[in-house]
Amino acid sequence: MKTLIVLAHPEPRSFNGALKDVAVETLRELGHQVQVSDLYAMNWKAELGVGDFPDNRADPDYLNLPREQEHAFANNAHTDDIKAEQSKVMWADLVIFQFPVWWFSMPAILKGWVDRVLSRGFAYSSGHKYGSGLLKGKRAMLCLTTGTASSLYTPAGIDGDLHHVLWPIHNGILAYTGFTVLPPFAAWMPAQLSDDERQQYLNSYADYLRSLETVQPLFFHPREDYDDNQQLKPGIEARSGVQWNPRAGQSFEQAASRFSGQPKSKI
């Protein structure tokens, strides 16, 4: 297996850095190949804009980002940094996104990597999204740290269920581009833990990586569950834990209570 780890933390000695190191060591011990994109060390440019299309514009008079991305990919005109990262994604069987949860999402530098690298034409295009996304056949997962306790990330917690919080990433980025999405690994507020407790997290993450071949992916409804308006068909009960289908007699509360359809995060 070939794995790309995309790391988004400014401190190499952080717990995110330690999790990345464990992943590299564990996967290589298993005989896998690993590449790491350390975005802060790379001084990755986060903003998607006109500078990404210095030459060979589809329309030099008006900046339409999706159109320019598709044109750049088709004409091998992406900037060198984007080309390098897209090559890594194409090489990889598995992509691990390693980051701290900031404001209920990923750091801006990682979102900028998504904006620029998982571009239209490369990762998705018209008619090639979700089950037909252009990265279909590859797997992806999140490994994350939080600044607060696990009790806050439950259905009754003030921060909400972790899978609900991560839905825009799991569904809107990874599943959208065709990835098979594995359950996330979460390390809860490691800054507040003892050295022994942090080591337990590192050991648990190594064990999780060793079991990846048997891990059940997260569930997303296939295209045939939707009608022509891309609404769940009558009678199809939502199983994602975020969606609910009134045409199947579901309320939000009922759908949330059926969250057993999703594998739990590995913690």
155: Cβ contacts below 8 Å, ≥ 6 apart: 161, 256, 259
DSSP annotation of 135: T
* Tokens matching residue 232: 């769940």
CB neighbour class for 239 (10 Å; exposed up to 12, middle 13-18, buried from 19): buried
pTM, two decimals, is 0.93
* Tokens matching residue 101: 């949860």
Interatomic CA distance for residues 233 and 255, integer angstroms: 15
Interatomic CA distance for residues 27 and 4, integer angstroms: 11
Q: Which domains does the chain have, with CATH numbers?
A: 2-215 (3.40.50.360), 219-267 (no CATH)
Would you give per-residue pLDDT tens digits along the chain (267 residues)? 999 999 999 999 999 999 999 999 999 999 999 999 999 999 999 999 999 999 899 999 999 999 999 999 999 999 999 999 999 999 999 999 999 999 999 999 999 999 999 999 999 999 999 999 999 999 999 999 999 999 999 888 999 989 999 999 999 999 999 999 999 999 999 999 999 999 999 999 999 999 999 999 999 999 999 999 999 999 999 988 789 999 999 987 766 665 444 455 555
Specify the DSSP element, H or E, that contains 29: helix 15-29
Instruction: Give the N- to C-terminal CA distance of the chain in Å, as an integer.
Output: 23
